[in-house]
Structure 1
């Protein structure tokens, strides 16, 4: 029987790849996005697309009200890096705005969507949040937001564990073929990111999709409260 998979930020990039992976596996997939592009992506993938700004409470509430049934897997993919957009903050007001933007995009989106769908999550399901290697070097608002996401996820795992719902974070390093860097990744920086890995290659969107699929599978039912690093060894743990 097909499961219901909800993926925020599913209209492009890694979210789109994850949606495609689940759709090809025969699951019932619902993707969200902030613009009408979500409907174009949904039509291309043969999934359901709903416009929703996951950082806006009213928008998330309206989205959640459309669910009459349950959700088996929630993938909180919505995010972005405001550090890469616009000039360097020139005042405390600008700095606060940048931090608030990144916190809203990378932490609040997951918190609001999970809270809104919490009563819809079926026992034995999974919540998968997408973090970043940047959380390990959290001197920026983006890194700090992703670090907060990991901490919140660990606490959520303890709350949902009694209903056999797992909660994990997938933390990618450099992933090629996305628009994450907004055209600001230089050839020199790209070479540095690849050189930092042990396998000397960039990550690929399908690497992320494969790990998300595994964490949502019956094979990962005793993995919860974890941050799973996907970076080719650029950041290692013990």
Structure 2
């Protein structure tokens, strides 16, 4: 058993920065051919690809709005054409809080944006890769959820938290459904991961300091902390693991 992913094609959604970029780099360093999906940040995605190539890996950047089912399907088709074989490793990392909005101010549009980017994207990108995984004899899907799924999130994040809780339930259901096809499905639930656009945008310095004080390991997490778990979940080292959610939060939430 090893982390050797040589020859496998991996698709990481929302991979132009932060956690997604770290996961893409980790998979490429272990031999996978990586598709770096991005929405708007073309320059950042190309930088991620170039970094992988400079370290001896193979990668391409492909733009798609994975919150739209049609674009999710096209993304997978382009990914398969890029390397001439099916996607065998999928990391559904794309997700967003979008904006902190109290429930009494909730609009249908905001609700849909949150649910689409966090849950719908995982559902339809997974749907698109499954036929290829079956043809290849199996594969691995990793969904990114959040500690917010357990604690309800911060102010104005109730729908975000609900969408991430739905990702956990979806992971379990899909794992049961696809086990017979040799497709394993697991989730990662990050806690407070620093050096990400999420906290740079939505978390104040005071809230950041207070949160770290409550983390038993005494520090913010890093994107690389999450990437290491993703690498484990798509490797042979987790061959008997499916339907599980791994908490990566330094002890701030323990099940």
* 1:147–1:184 Cα change, 3 Å: closer
Give secondary structure in 2 for the equivalent of 1:83.
coil
User: Which residue does 1:44 correspond to in 2?
Assistant: 51
Normalised to the residue count of structure 1, the TM-score between the two structures is 0.91
The answer as to whether partners of 2:8 and 2:32 remain within 8 angstroms in 1 is yes
The answer as to whether partners of 2:94 and 2:117 remain within 8 angstroms in 1 is yes
Question: What is the CA distance between 1:166 and its match in structure 2?
Answer: 1.0
Normalised to the residue count of structure 2, the TM-score between the two structures is 0.85
User: Which residue does 2:67 correspond to in 1?
Assistant: 55
The unaligned stretches of length 5 or more in structure 1 are none
Aligned pairs for 1:105-184 within 5 A:
105-121=117-133, 122-138=136-152, 140-184=158-202
The unaligned stretches of length 5 or more in structure 2 are 1-5, 54-58
Question: What is the CA distance between 1:183 and its match in structure 2?
Answer: 3.1
- The answer to whether the aligner puts 1:100 opposite 2:112 as a matched pair is yes
Deviations 1:48-69 (A, max 9, x none): 1111110112212222223252
Root-mean-square deviation (CA), in Å? 1.8
* 1:123–1:196 Cα change, 3 Å: farther
Question: What is the CA distance between 1:172 and its match in structure 2?
Answer: 0.4
